[in-house]
Amino acid sequence: MSDRAAYLRAAAQLRGNAGQWAAYESRGHCIVLAGPGSGKTKTLTTKMARLLAEDVAEPRGVACITFNNECARELEGRLAALGVEPDGRVFIGTVHSFSLTQIILPYAKVAGLGLPDDFGVATRAERQAALSNAVLRTMDYAGNPQDWEFRLASYRRSILNRDSVQWQETDPELAGLVEAYEAELRLRGLIDFDDMPLLAVRALREKPWLQRALLAKYPVLVVDEYQDLGLALHRMVMGLCFSAGMRLFAVGDADQSIYGFNGAQPELLRRLSEREDVETVRLRLNYRSGTRIVAASSVALGEERGYEAAEGAPLGTVFVHAVQGAYPQQARHLIANLLQRAMAGKPGLRYRDVAVLYPAAWIGDSVADAARQAGIPVVRTDGNALYPRASRLMQWLELCAQWCCGGWRAGDPRFSRLVAEGRRLFAESIRGEDQVGDFHRRLIDGLWNVRDPSLPLHAWLVRLKEQLIDPLGLGCVSLRDELETLAAFVARTSPEGDCPGMLLGEMAGDGGGLDRLTLSSLHSAKGREFAVVFLFGMDAGRLPRNDAGRQQLAEARRLFYVGFTRAKSEVHLIHTVGRASQFVDELEQHLR
């Protein structure tokens, strides 16, 4: 099937949904407001395939900015199924990656950003050292300098123009601390992740020719999860799309904005969707959840949005469980009773179809312990996971592990995918065709003789790290922090670490290849879906927190809504007896 036939076939499936078809047919700026389970990723990727085939002539292309590396990876997979492989015409990545690879690395010197030619991206240890020195230089503070980290980051993300009165006068102490911290980084020849979009916005604002250069390369800008991407991305969009002339296609849902602590502002999406020069399309049909779950979701959100379940959807069920005891006791009840009843009631249901979601990672520790005692395999995707789930390097290593644990035989993943994703990961070190061929050979040499799930993971990681990752990764500015993450994980799997004896098959399983129960914080579950979802720890004081202000209360409700709408057929709300969250109380009243 040709590339064109692949996306046209996908497009034909959009015709039956008026909103999806309107988005696909849009010709100018388009904002798609997409509710949970509404097929927004399918709509976005089919639209991108059409743009590349019909609207954008080679060698120009399309840039797609999304929230995190896992989202980017999913989009790449969906586009590959439509015959679109990321290459020089297609950028898919985070706002940080876009800022670094498309603006800062190629244009830092001519844009006058004041960075040395060999600047690096600061590791966590380097960031901490710079902050400690900045606190020492600018204020009389006897506590831990890292206490300022969150406030410093929030101030940087909320006020972008350093020449403004707002920057200097809103909080002069914080403004001085930020400037001192950034000066400390520059003395070391470093930038940090927040610097990436901030420097990019500054360059675009001060150098109009840079906007034209990006327009020449990417006449269309696609943005996924717009509500989560913050003020810096919004400023880029306003400049590139509404001044320089890029065409915008953005997808999002303000009701699923749950990253206020990282600078997300859902009202930015709302304002953008109300512009007269933007076509706004709403996707109201939920293809994921059962009818009763869709109906109850409006109660979870606290507002009616007119969402409907797709025709033929199952009824779906919502259960509320008041459980005695502390979280360890409740977790044992969940695993031994509630989970087993759910599995027994749905023949064919597997652990990989079930998720336990909770407000904070430490709450998940109780569930992980109970599952381990019951002999149930789990994969964690929260802050207490074995390694950060959003790490591009660790995601690629998961794929390599899956290939070595049977994927080489089954073709899932295909070796060509390992090569393609590895090339993008190490793009700063793999440039010419000779280097591409060398990478292909070294990768097959590194993996072919270690295709055994029972191999010690530590030895497998050390081999790949020494033969391939370090020689390539040390030349990549954007991978310094990720190499530190890998080094920490290698140490944990060593005989002296806290995870000795791990096997290669366990790494492959964490990548999703085995039948494992998913344990996740509510935040980390964003974008996922499961047949059965247990919302654990739904207590007053946990969600929302006791001291929540108006904005925090609204975001806590959106977080509850996101967790609730991950479910296809069953949602189980678990709370401590006498301490139900107000969101659970509202749902119970609805269900009576």
Quick: pLDDT tens for 24-39. Answer: 999 999 999 999 999 9
- What pLDDT is recorded for position 536? 98
Closest CA to 66 of 260, 233, 289, 247: 233
In angstroms, the Cα distances linking 218 to 215, 230, 236, 245, 561 are: 5, 21, 14, 10, 35
Q: How far apart are CA 5 and CA 105, in angstroms?
A: 37
Q: 36 burial class (0-12, 13-18, 19+ CB within 10 angstroms)?
A: buried
Q: How far apart are CA 161 and CA 219, in angstroms?
A: 26
Quick: pLDDT tens for 300-321. Answer: 999 999 999 999 888 999 999 9
Which residue would you say has higher pLDDT here, 4 or 308?
A: 308
- Mean pLDDT to the nearest integer, 90-116: 93
Which residue would you say has higher pLDDT here, 129 or 386?
A: 129
| Annotation: binding site | 34-41
| Annotation: binding site for ATP | 34-41
In angstroms, the Cα distances linking 124 to 190, 193, 480, 495 are: 12, 10, 10, 25
Residue 384 predicted with pLDDT over 80: yes
DSSP states of 131-188 as a string? Answer: HHHHHHHH----S-GGGGHHHHHHHHHH---TTSHHHHHH-HHHHHHHHHHHHHHHHT
What one-character DSSP code corresponds to residue 542? B
- Mean pLDDT to the nearest integer, 287-291: 96
Within its chain, how far is the Cα of 92 from the centroid? 13
3 band by pLDDT with thresholds 50, 70 and 90 = low
Which two tokens mark 509?
């399983």
Q: How far apart are CA 287 and CA 439, in angstroms?
A: 41
Neighbours of 156 (CB within 10 A): 23
Residue 116 predicted with pLDDT over 80: yes
Instruction: Work out the angle between the directed axes of helices 480-493 and 457-464 (0-180°, nearest 10).
Output: 150
86 band by pLDDT with thresholds 50, 70 and 90 = low
Residue pair 331/362 in contact (Cβ under 8 Å)? The answer is no
- Mean pLDDT to the nearest integer, 436-449: 92
- What pLDDT is recorded for position 149? 95
- What pLDDT is recorded for position 302? 93
Residue 420 DSSP SS3: helix
1 band by pLDDT with thresholds 50, 70 and 90 = very low
Q: How far apart are CA 7 and CA 79, in angstroms?
A: 9
DSSP states of 314-357 as a string? Answer: ---EEEEEEE-S-HHHHHHHIIIIIHHHHHHHSTT--GGGEEEE
Residue pair 227/264 in contact (Cβ under 8 Å)? The answer is yes
Closest CA to 208 of 241, 163, 243: 243
Quick: pLDDT tens for 322-358. Answer: 999 999 999 999 999 999 999 999 989 999 999 999 9
Quick: pLDDT tens for 483-530. Answer: 999 999 999 999 999 888 899 988 886 544 468 899 999 999 998 999
Q: How far apart are CA 34 and CA 387, in angstroms?
A: 31
Q: Where are the beta strands (DSSP E) in 189-302?
A: 190-191, 220-223, 247-252, 279-283, 285-286
What one-character DSSP code corresponds to residue 287? S
- What pLDDT is recorded for position 104? 96
What one-character DSSP code corresponds to residue 254? G
- What pLDDT is recorded for position 82? 87
Residues paired with 121 in a beta bridge: 191
Which two tokens mark 451?
């295709």
Tokens 């966590």 correspond to 124
List % helix, strand, coil for the chain (3-state, nearest 5): 55, 15, 30
Q: What angle do CA 458, 464, 467 make, to 5 degrees?
A: 135
Closest CA to 528 of 538, 518, 514: 518
In this prediction the pTM is 0.90
Q: How far apart are CA 200 and CA 506, in angstroms?
A: 40
Residues paired with 379 in a beta bridge: 518
Which two tokens mark 16?
């039956």
In angstroms, the Cα distances linking 50 to 23, 395, 568 are: 12, 28, 30
Q: How far apart are CA 148 and CA 153, in angstroms?
A: 9
Residue 2 predicted with pLDDT over 50: no
Where helices occur in 346-432 by DSSP H, the ranges are: 361-373, 392-402, 408-410, 415-425
- What pLDDT is recorded for position 512? 47
Q: How far apart are CA 253 and CA 267, in angstroms?
A: 10
Q: How far apart are CA 327 and CA 512, in angstroms?
A: 27
Q: Please state the φ and ψ torsions of residue 323, each to the nearest 5 degrees.
A: -125, 140
What one-character DSSP code corresponds to residue 352? G
Average pLDDT, the chain: 92
Q: Looking at 65-69, 167-171, 540-544, which range is the least confident one?
A: 65-69
Closest CA to 60 of 91, 96, 101, 99: 91
Instruction: Work out the angle between the directed axes of helices 392-402 and 69-81 (0-180°, nearest 10).
Output: 50
Quick: pLDDT tens for 238-269. Answer: 999 999 999 999 999 999 999 988 888 999 99
Residue 45 predicted with pLDDT over 50: yes
What one-character DSSP code corresponds to residue 456? B
- What pLDDT is recorded for position 514? 64
- What pLDDT is recorded for position 201? 95
